[in-house]
Amino acid sequence: MFVELGSETGWKLDGEMLWSFYFAAPTPEVLESVVDALEPYGFDLDEIFENEDEPGFYLEVGRAETHTPETLFARNAELEAIAAKFEGVEYDGMEVDPIPSDDDECDCEGNCENCDCDENEAVAEEKCCCGGGHCHTESEPIENPEILTAIAAVSKDPSEATQHGLTLALERGLYLVPVFAGRLDTDPSDDEAVQVLVCTDEKGDEYLPLFTDEAALKGWTEESVSAMVLTGPEAWDFILSQPECSGGVINPGGAALPLNREMVTLLKKMIEE
């Protein structure tokens, strides 16, 4: 790793670098206990965050250190031993980056995921169809394979784990909401500016259609419509702001997933908590 990474990046890994170390666990509470165990080492707590691929959480800690391959091997062994003291916790490896300097100029050109520099924000504002509020850009098609996979998993095995996975996928989704052509507005809080197409059930109750991709939208209507892009939280807020709306429905033209108003309220509450 020292040889290959040094060759690829030009970094001098035998000098002081910013090393990040990761622990994985099923709950954030047990990771907080790991933080206490790491306190004597003087690590900085970066964050405890949710695993996007499967149920569980990660702890990221780090600090500036100088390592040789031998000392890094010893550090990994130490951290593996600490993880072994806690049931369900696994040491998940490390990453390394140069120590940032106040004089460093970011050359991300708006393409780094975690960069908060002015240049990155400016490019995101320019490209993102929702004003930089999330990571989608106008040049990218809306696709939500995680939602489709989660729906299929629940239909085969409606267990607590698969339902939890579906909830996470719905929260993280980006949805196409059809609006009449010429009335496109990406600010869902301005109700008067948006003329949204709705669908109705056999009782005549209205639901907000939420499409996971363009093909699903085109399969639902042949009308000439535009579409605004909403994140999950924006969609829940939009539904709950309309008293006549009974909920939302994912891909009403295919294997539809209805979300009544009670479910939408629960999804919004989970975000707030």
**pLDDT, tens digit, for every residue of 116-134?**
454 444 443 433 444 333 4
188 vs 21, higher pLDDT: 21
Q: Containing H/E element for 75?
A: helix 69-83
Exposed, middle or buried, 22 (CB in 10 Å: 0-12/13-18/19+)? middle
pLDDT digits (tens, 9 = 90+) for 98-120: 987 655 555 554 445 445 454 44
Cα–Cα distance list, 75 to 46, 78, 115 (Å): 18, 5, 28
Residue 24, pLDDT above cutoff 90: yes
Which residue type does 161 have? A
DSSP 29: H
pLDDT digits (tens, 9 = 90+) for 236-255: 999 999 899 999 999 988 77
177 φψ region: left (φ > 0), alpha (ψ -120 to 50), beta (else): beta
The predicted pLDDT at position 4 comes to 82
Mean pLDDT of the chain: 80
Q: Which of 78-82, 103-107, 186-190, 195-199 has the lowest mean pLDDT?
A: 186-190
For residue 252 the two structure tokens come to: 């009403």
The predicted pLDDT at position 79 comes to 93
The predicted pLDDT at position 262 comes to 92
The predicted pLDDT at position 139 comes to 55
- Rounded to whole angstroms, the Cα distance separating 118 from 213 reads 31
270 vs 89, higher pLDDT: 89
Half-sphere exposure for 123 (CA within 13 Å, toward CB): 15
- Rounded to whole angstroms, the Cα distance separating 137 from 123 reads 10
Residue given tokens 């951290």 in the structure block:
79
Q: Which of 7-11, 14-18, 51-55, 98-102 has the lowest mean pLDDT?
A: 98-102
Residue 205, pLDDT above cutoff 60: yes
- Rounded to whole angstroms, the Cα distance separating 185 from 179 reads 9
Q: Which of 34-48, 70-84, 114-128 has the lowest mean pLDDT?
A: 114-128
Other Cβ atoms within 10 Å of 272 Cβ, number: 6
- Rounded to whole angstroms, the Cα distance separating 225 from 191 reads 18
- Rounded to whole angstroms, the Cα distance separating 229 from 237 reads 14
The predicted pLDDT at position 9 comes to 84
The percentage of the chain sitting over the pLDDT mark of 90, rounded to a whole number, equals 31
Residue given tokens 């702890």 in the structure block:
59
Domains of the chain with CATH codes: 2-97 (3.30.70.970), 145-272 (no CATH)
222: β partners? none
Is the whole-model pTM more than 0.75? no
